[in-house]
A and B are shown apart, each in its own frame.
Chain A
Amino acid sequence: MVSKTLVAASTKPIILSILMSGEGYGYQIIQQVKEISGGTLEWSDNMLYPVLRRLEKGGLLASRWKISKAGRLRRYYQITEQGRAELDLERRQWMSVHKALSKLWKPLPSLK
């Protein structure tokens, strides 16, 4: 299980990364997160929506409404130019953290 703070911190890059491969709606995004993380990233499902809204208001995402075949309203999100730039920044930050930790933890696998 991943701690709450870390989940909160990683939400933004994860959502932006998922949307890099094309537009998607909330439920879809959540399913994808679960799939990728293998269930280690546990969110209260609908907590994603305030985040999406925040990202949209911040100009990182754009959204539009569509109606599914079953007649359900769905809001599809799309990453904007600004969102891509933001993701780039995030990626660099995460990579440097990752690199630092990797160096420190190198001996660890041998302990196994």
Chain B
Amino acid sequence: MFNLENEICNWLRALRRSKNLEDSDIAELESHLRDEIDHQIEKGLNEEAAFCAAMEKSAPVDILRQEYDKAKLYERSHPFWHPSRVMPALIWSYVKIALRKIRRHKTYSFINVAGLAVGMSACILILLWIQNELSYDRFHEKADQLFRAVKHERMSNGRTLSYPLFPTGFGPAFKGDYPQVLETVRFRHSRGRIVRVGDNSFYEDNFAFADPELLKIFTFPLLEGNPDTVLSAPSYIVLTEEIAQKYFGEKNPIGQVIQVDGTHEFQVTGILKTIPHNSQIRFDFVVPFIALEQYGWEMFDWGRYGIRTYVLLNEHTDYQKFNTQIEGFLKKYVEDTIMTVSLQPLTRVHLHSAGISASGTDGDIKYVYIFSLIAFFILLMACVNFMNLTTARSENRAREVGVRKVVGAKRRNLIFQFFGESILLSLMAFIFAVGLAQLTLPAFNSLTGKEITFQIFTQPTLFIGLLGIAALTGVIAGSYPALFLSSFHPIKTLRTKFPSGTGGGLFRETLVASQFVLTICLVIATVIVNRQMHYIRNMNLGIEKDHILCLDLKGSLEDRYQTLKNEISRNTSVIAVTAASDAPAGNHMSISLNDWEGRDTDAHYLLDILSVDQDYLKVFGLNLVEGRFFRAEETNKAEHPIVVNETAIKAMGMKDPIGKRVRESRIIGVIKDYHFDSLHNAITPLGMICAPEDYDSLLVKIRPGNLSETIAAIKGSWLEVAPEYPFEFRFLDESIDSLYKNDQKVGKAINLATVLALFIACLGLFGMASFSAEQRTKEIGIRKVFGASIPSIFFLLSKQFSKWVIAANVVAWPVAYFVMSKWLSGFAFHTSLNIVFFVFAAAVALMIAMITVSYQTLKAALANPIHSLRHE
């Protein structure tokens, strides 16, 4: 039995097998066929005959398909590179829908992408910084076998004093005593050398004395010269390429002679490749260690501590085990010492040297942790925002989900689509973030004082890592809409207006609140850090630190200090001048305080030593408690007079101290305690002696007033006495400030992080507020129609957000309290944690939140209800 419809169906099915026939083509062909059949029937044929006749006139299916294939080649609207040509149609449709959504909801898309991009770029910068910090000293081929020797001294007040400084005898003896030690290198860094090349002289700060093995065990490659011989004679010198360029330009530097400090001559034998910026050992010049003999050092001495010693261990030596063996090493060579020795892996020197004095490093693993945490939290906040907004917006798409399901989308198709969309957005944010990081890198470098470069394509691990973070953010953000929305029942979403914005509300509120927890913590931290910095700057140190200039007595100037001092004092604007070993801003020499008259315990302290002249008290406004200070004429007395501070007297338990003996000195006076070190530390025992050979600075107290004239006058006096040295000065208060360089860095970082966090949190809040105002448009309209006033509506809408912010405070306060009291306890002197700070932070957070929200709520409250109610 012939069935026309069946035949037509079969024919269409045959056509459908060609992928180049679109549905519309088939519909068109079908309608043609039916027209033709109708036409034949009109002529009087029966259905079967009409169908056959129509088929007769049509081209066979194969040929028709071929023609369509040809037609496809002619398509010009989609060039070959067009995405629709390379990806399945459904995926391209997803992409189109996603892009369309972005275009239609510009504000949300912007908030979404911008927030994430800012967070990511901050994260990128911090990761770069961390990567740089962790890379220190790892470029040495034998980095895993290299160590730095450190000595420790445990004091009776519980303090352990660690220094990486040893006497010259230590290195060779250490190498001789242990078979595990393959090599030791003694290294002394030295500042303030005058270098003369031809007729030019240069003032150089980066001079090093080192055993010749330096160039063998470390990876400091030579551009010219043989590493075995370049340091083989005491008069040889090796320069870095920059210095060679600076001194000799195009000339061949090898064989040239340079003069150091006017007396010593060195011959250039090698050129070093520029030392990488992530090297903790830095120098521009290196001369053989033995050249130190010319500067009054003995080569195998056990008394004078000032030499860094680096150790190359056998490959298979476990240094921790080895450390237990070498602990008492010094007892063999130094009588009656309490000093112990340990080895610190070179790769840990940069970051793990907290507690080691004169370490010569500015890194600290603590900051790596702090910044990692900050990076993590900022990224987390940005992700939370992203998630929040994506989720909130996606509920408006319930209907789309319904339609897609009705036309046959499976759940996994929808999951795929939503994940795809959020990953697309996060990748867009990633691209912006990379650009933003590139742009802000110079500013970041000047903030951190580093020379980090960011070439994303030459750092594949970084690139892949960051891309992974971006993709992960997309996946996390997309997970809620993907998993929740795709579960909707199509009938429910299509039949009634789907109540959007209700599901997941609590989830989103919690997320926003948690953002505010972080933000409030950061605000509190900012307030306290700034407060502490202010406290330090304004604390009474017990000395006058204003209007004091520090001039360094470089090189051979020590011998001429008296002339210089007299010359400078002659200026009328100068109140007083004193010569001393150090300005009262950290970095003192210290000796063991283990021998004094009437010592009845085996207590052992450390005595910081300052070498000063008779005018020290006058310059700094210090007061004597007992006895007398130095007199001008007693400088060379054999009695070794010493003035100590109150803390020292207390530590030694002395009564009536004047005239008593401390080590080989006799106490002539007791000075009132003052802060001569960072406020991180409590006041420790201090002794002042009068030893002109140790004077390193001239401290000049000047009259406030015409500063530039005064400095010009002092410069005049300086140039008269020491024309060969450049006149350089610092202000004492600056030097004191620089004791807190790291704290200030943290402060700055926290300030920045706070601003960023506030920005991101506000973006999120803004997005949520506008979303919620939009959701409640109709409700607000109705309320207004029934007579609600604008303030009451404003209050209604704001209440919701303030609630979260206040809840956030409850969580943030204890956290901030705990963390900040920890931070403050790192200072021996610190401001107290006042409730006011917390209230202040809460107020700031609340105020900023209100301002952010008010734009949207006011807009909603002021809107004319006609507009919101018209479309019903």
Contact = CB atoms under 8 A, between A and B. Distances in A.
Interface in B1-52: 24-25, 27-36
B70 A50 contact: yes
A27 B36 contact: yes
Q: Is the interface of A mostly helix, strand, loop or mixed?
A: helix
Interface string B215-246: 00000000000000000000000000000000
A50 B64 contact: yes
Contacts of A27: 31-32, 35-36
Contact of A26 (B32, B63, B71): B32
Contacts of A72: 31, 34-35
Interface stretch (B72-80, B110-118, B437-445, B795-803): B72-80
The 5 A-B residue pairs with the shortest CB-CB distance, nearest first, are A44-B59, A50-B67, A54-B71, A57-B75, A27-B35
A54 B70 CA distance: 8
A57 B59 contact: no
B24 A47 contact: no
12 contacts: A27-B31, A44-B63, A47-B63, A49-B25, A49-B32, A50-B67, A53-B68, A54-B74, A57-B75, A59-B77, A75-B24, A75-B31
A46 B25 CA distance: 11
B32 A45 contact: yes
A74 interface: yes
B871 interface: no
Between A51, A54, A59, A65, the greatest number of chain B beta carbons within 10 A of the residue's beta carbon is seen for A54
A60 B65 CA distance: 22
Contacts of A45: 32, 36, 57-59
Between A49, A73, A74, the greatest number of chain B beta carbons within 10 A of the residue's beta carbon is seen for A49
Contact of A47 (B30, B35, B67): B67
Between A51, A57, A74, the greatest number of chain B beta carbons within 10 A of the residue's beta carbon is seen for A57
B71 A57 contact: yes
Interface of A: 25-27, 44-47, 49-51, 53-54, 57-59, 65, 72-75
A54 B77 CA distance: 11
Given A46-B58, A49-B25, A58 B76 contact: yes
Q: Is the interface of B mostly helix, strand, loop or mixed?
A: helix
B74 A47 contact: no
Between A50, A51, A53, A59, the greatest number of chain B beta carbons within 10 A of the residue's beta carbon is seen for A50
Contacts of B75: 57
Nearest to B59: A44
B207 to A, nearest CB: 78
A8 B659 CA distance: 125
Nearest to B74: A54
Contacts of A46: 29, 32-33, 58-59, 64
Contacts, number: 67
Contacts of A65: 24
Contacts of B57: 44-45
B58 A50 contact: no
Contacts of A73: 27-28, 30-31
Contacts of B77: 57, 59
Contacts of B32: 26-27, 45-46, 49
A4 B160 CA distance: 104
A44 B32 CA distance: 12
A62 B70 CA distance: 19
A57 B24 CA distance: 13
B76 A59 contact: yes
Between B35, B74, B75, B77, the greatest number of chain A beta carbons within 10 A of the residue's beta carbon is seen for B35
Contacts of B64: 46-47, 49-50
Contacts of B25: 49, 53
A26 B29 CA distance: 9
Nearest to A68: B31
A82 to B, nearest CB: 11
B30 to A, nearest CB: 8
A74 B59 CA distance: 20
Between B28, B59, B63, the greatest number of chain A beta carbons within 10 A of the residue's beta carbon is seen for B28
Given A46-B29, A49-B32, A50-B67, 11 more contacts: A26-B32, A45-B59, A46-B33, A49-B29, A49-B64, A53-B68, A57-B74, A57-B75, A57-B77, A58-B74, A58-B76
Contacts of A51: 67, 71
A45 B58 CA distance: 5
A57 B57 CA distance: 26
B31 A74 contact: yes
Contacts of A44: 57-59, 63
B70 A26 contact: no
Given A44-B58, A44-B59, A54-B71, A49 B76 contact: no
Contacts of B35: 27, 72
A102 B67 CA distance: 34
Contacts of A54: 70-71, 74
B17 to A, nearest CB: 16
Nearest to A27: B35
Contacts of B30: 73
Nearest to B33: A46
A58 to B, nearest CB: 6
A9 B28 CA distance: 23
A27 B76 CA distance: 26
A23 B29 CA distance: 18
Contacts of B27: 73, 75
Interface in B656-699: none
